[in-house]
Amino acid sequence: MNKKQKRWRNRIILALAIFAVVFALEELGALTAVFGTPGDVYASFVLFLVPYLIAGYDVLIKAARNIRRGQAFDECFLMTVATIGAFAMVFFPDTDPHMAEGAAVMLFYQVGELFQSYAVGQSRKSISAMMDIAPDYANIEQDGQLVEVDPDEVQVGDIIVVKPGERVPIDGVVTEGVSQLDTAALTGESVPRHVEPGADIISGCINMTGILHIRTTKPFGESTVSRILELVENASEKKARTENFITRFARWYTPLVTGAAALLAVVPPLLGMGSWSDWILRGLTFLVVSCPCALVISVPLSFFGGIGGASKLGILVKGSNYLELLAHVDTVVFDKTGTLTDGTFSVVAIHPEADADADALLSAAAHAEAFSDHPIAVSVREAYRGAIDRARIAEVVEESGHGVSALVDGRRVLVGNDKLMAEHGTAWHDCDLTGTVLHVSIDGAYAGHIVIADVVKEDAAQTIRDLHAAGVRRCVMLTGDRADVAEAVGRELGLDEVHAQLLPQDKVEAVERLLAEERGEGRLAFVGDGINDAPVLTRADVGVAMGAMGSDAAIEAADVVLMDDKPSNIARAMRIARKTMRIVWQNIVFALGVKVLILVLAALGLANMWLAVFGDVGVAVIAILNAMRAMRVGADRA
Ligand code: ADP
Ligand code: MG
């Protein structure tokens, strides 16, 4: 509890204590003994006014302020009218006094409000604790001394030092030191990762064992931690349809109920159906129950909890609308390379043309690929081993879905698939090995090909099984790779459909066709690494990107980011989304159900204000406790 909440709590406790004393004095007849009749009624009026004002003066002020601003119909207004009304019943001598109820309604309303504020603060805190991954300093070496500086001041290319136990503040590459990294804050995975010089490091991990020197590759503002925090902070701005519905609902619901209460209080007695006091009391009871706070608070809180819970597992959802869409996904479309497969290709064979040499072929290919981020390019460079002299390379053009073209030592080198060769009018010949074939041509002459193969990710097959078990109708793979490779992967993983040899724009078309085939509420999710597929990510109902390996463009374009590149997290994200939606609907149905029931009872004169206030506050408390379940995803952690 913060200071403000503590003061608030103390105020409520004080008011409750005074209320209890006054209530006891009245019930025991002490007031009548001292003040006589009807003096006792006026005495209890004044005495109950004390706890009432102590507990509720701020509500009265807020209601008055809102009325002046012309936004009268909120819960403060409902509570103010209902409680003032209850006190005013003293002017109807034909009925028992209702001051105790008036004070009690205000007291319990405040108890509920305090609880709400505590619950919201609590979930915000646990999310920010989880998100407490932003280090507030970086160590740099100056004249042999380590000094702490603001991470914002570190330039790209500077060397920072991370001691054991510290968090890596900025993305970079290890230049010195060997250590284990704890990536749990980013991926939910607590298996330590071994790093040594040359390893890429993302910010937010905790350095566990050794001192690391890291050459930064990004400014602090573009590093992984900063980006994650930004995503989480902005998530609450993108509202789900259900959330908007509740807001709109509350907007017309409150005036409607107030109107109904007024009619209930006035019309029957005018028609001679009973006493004024009885009907006015029913109208006031009506106002108390109708307070929509249980919904207005618990629905956004559930979404907030779902997003927070997902981020504990390294799944970043950019808004509650995406959580809602995820719950309805029944078609999942995957990109192949880097998404279902590892993206770290190993070279299976090098087949140079008769007059060439295998090493020269690999060297030419690795140089041409020097500037590409494509997993194929990274793997070719890795296989080459030798140093790449960037000065020998010029005029690099990457043609997405085809390959690359570059001048290496002044000679035009093309590396890519059949399409690339065909486009440049180079004759090529096929290979009978299964795998991704990289044809290489030098100065227009075919130089041979390199066959590379990729392995499917460990959890890929399980992911497809989980998705089918969760009711996903179609799991589709799209790839720019050759049909034989695609089909082999498709069979291995149990995919429903495989489409091969697609250029990036063909992937968009394929997704549009699948979107057109969606039925009813069914939604389509596309999962990709963002290399060549950012347009598809934006086109799908829900775009899911692999965060660690994926490109920055993909993380921008995506609606959901999987930090640890595991496709199985998409199944987990869907489970969290569905659980959140279940909780949201439970709360809506429960809160409205109980309220309607008490409203009907109140109209019939069967509910008094005591029942109404317990109905209102009790429903709010239960709905909030239920909403907080959305944050607990422990059982989903694999
Ligand atoms: P996927 O759909 O499997 O993710 P891409 O659309 O990224 O694959 O690429 C499709 C095909 O284009 C690859 O299988 C490869 O033949 C070729 N290609 C793309 N980029 C490169 C590159 N940098 N070097 C060589 N070939 C490439
Ligand atoms: Mg790809």
CA of 490 to the centre of ligand 1 (A): 18
135-229 and 342-456, same CATH topology: no
C-alpha to C-alpha distance for 315 and 603, rounded to whole angstroms: 48
Atom of ligand 1 nearest to the CA of 504: 6
For ligand 1, pick from 334, 384, 399, 402 the residue to mutate: most ligand atoms within 8 Å of CB. Answer: 402
The closest residue, in CA terms, to atom 4 on ligand 1 is 337
Pairing state between β 329-335 and 523-528: parallel
**Which ligand is nearest the CA of 505, by number?**
1
Return the pLDDT at 364.
93
Return the pLDDT at 73.
76
SS3 324: helix
CA of 498 to the centre of ligand 2 (A): 14
Nearest in space to 351 (alpha carbons), one of 269, 438, 476 = 438
CA of 546 to the centre of ligand 2 (A): 11
Pairing state between β 436-442 and 445-453: antiparallel
**Which ligand is nearest the CA of 529, by number?**
2
Amino acid at 637: R
Q: Is 419 exposed, middle or buried (0-12, 13-18, 19+ CB in 10 A)?
A: middle
Q: What angle do CA 439, 445, 449 make, to 5 degrees?
A: 20
For ligand 1, pick from 477, 479, 498, 507 the residue to mutate: most ligand atoms within 8 Å of CB. Answer: 479
* Residue 134 burial (CB count, 10 A): 17
The closest residue, in CA terms, to atom 12 on ligand 1 is 401
Residues with active-site annotation: 335
Pocket of ligand 1 (CB under 6 A): 335-337, 369, 372, 374, 376-377, 398, 401-404, 415-417, 436, 438, 479-481, 531-532
**Which ligand is nearest the CA of 550, by number?**
2
Provide the token pair at 32: 């009548």
In angstroms, what CA-CA distances link 27 with 45, 100, 453? 14, 11, 86
User: Which DSSP category does 337 fall into?
Assistant: I
C-alpha to C-alpha distance for 74 and 621, rounded to whole angstroms: 19
Nearest in space to 105 (alpha carbons), one of 616, 625, 622 = 616
C-alpha to C-alpha distance for 442 and 311, rounded to whole angstroms: 48
CA of 532 to the centre of ligand 2 (A): 6
In the chain, which residues have pLDDT < 70?
Answer: 126-134, 185, 188-190, 231-233, 235-236, 548-552, 634-638
For ligand 1, pick from 334, 345, 376, 436 the residue to mutate: most ligand atoms within 8 Å of CB. Answer: 376
Return the pLDDT at 573.
93
CA of 375 to the centre of ligand 2 (A): 8
Atom of ligand 1 nearest to the CA of 437: 16
Full-model pTM: 0.81
* Residue 583 burial (CB count, 10 A): 23
CA of 403 to the centre of ligand 1 (A): 6
Atom of ligand 1 nearest to the CA of 339: 4
The closest residue, in CA terms, to atom 10 on ligand 1 is 480
CB 329 within 8 A of CB 523: yes
Radius of gyration of the chain (CA): 33
CA of 582 to the centre of ligand 1 (A): 41
The closest residue, in CA terms, to atom 14 on ligand 1 is 481
- DSSP labels, 208-239: -SS-EEEEE-S-GGGSHHHHHHHHHHHHTTS-
What beta strand segments (E) does 21-162 contain? 138-142, 145-149, 159-162
Atom of ligand 1 nearest to the CA of 377: 23
The closest residue, in CA terms, to atom 20 on ligand 1 is 403
Nearest in space to 112 (alpha carbons), one of 625, 629, 632 = 625
Nearest in space to 151 (alpha carbons), one of 228, 162, 201, 208 = 162
Q: Domain 342-456, CATH 3.40.1110.10 — does that match?
A: yes
Atom of ligand 1 nearest to the CA of 532: 7
* CATH assignment of 317-328+460-545+558-576, among 3.10.150.10, 1.10.540.10, 3.40.50.1000, 3.40.640.10: 3.40.50.1000
Strand order in the sheet with 474-478: 315-317, 560-562, 542-546, 523-528, 329-335, 474-478, 497-499
Atom of ligand 1 nearest to the CA of 417: 16
Taking CB atoms within 8 Å and a gap of at least 24, the contacts of 274-282 are 275/92, 275/94, 275/95, 276/92, 277/89, 277/92, 277/94, 277/95, 278/95, 278/605, 280/85, 280/89, 280/92, 281/86, 281/89, 281/95, 281/98, 281/608, 281/609, 282/602, 282/603, 282/605
Q: Which residues of 314-342 are buried (b: 16+ CB within 10 A; e: fewer)?
A: bbbbbbbbbbbbbbbbbbbbbbbbbbbbb
**Which ligand is nearest the CA of 373, by number?**
1
Domain ranges of the chain: 135-229, 317-328+460-545+558-576, 342-456
Report the topology of domain 135-229: 2.70.150
CA of 334 to the centre of ligand 2 (A): 9
Q: SS3 for 339-363, per residue?
A: HHECCCCEEEEEEECCCCCHHHHHH
Atom of ligand 1 nearest to the CA of 338: 4
**Which ligand is nearest the CA of 481, by number?**
1
User: Which DSSP category does 413 fall into?
Assistant: E
In angstroms, what CA-CA distances link 542 with 321, 413, 442, 559, 565? 10, 39, 42, 6, 17
The owner of tokens 């149990």 is: 494
Nearest in space to 401 (alpha carbons), one of 368, 378, 423, 430 = 423
CB 531 within 8 A of CB 551: yes
For ligand 1, pick from 532, 537, 546 the residue to mutate: most ligand atoms within 8 Å of CB. Answer: 532
CB 474 within 8 A of CB 429: no
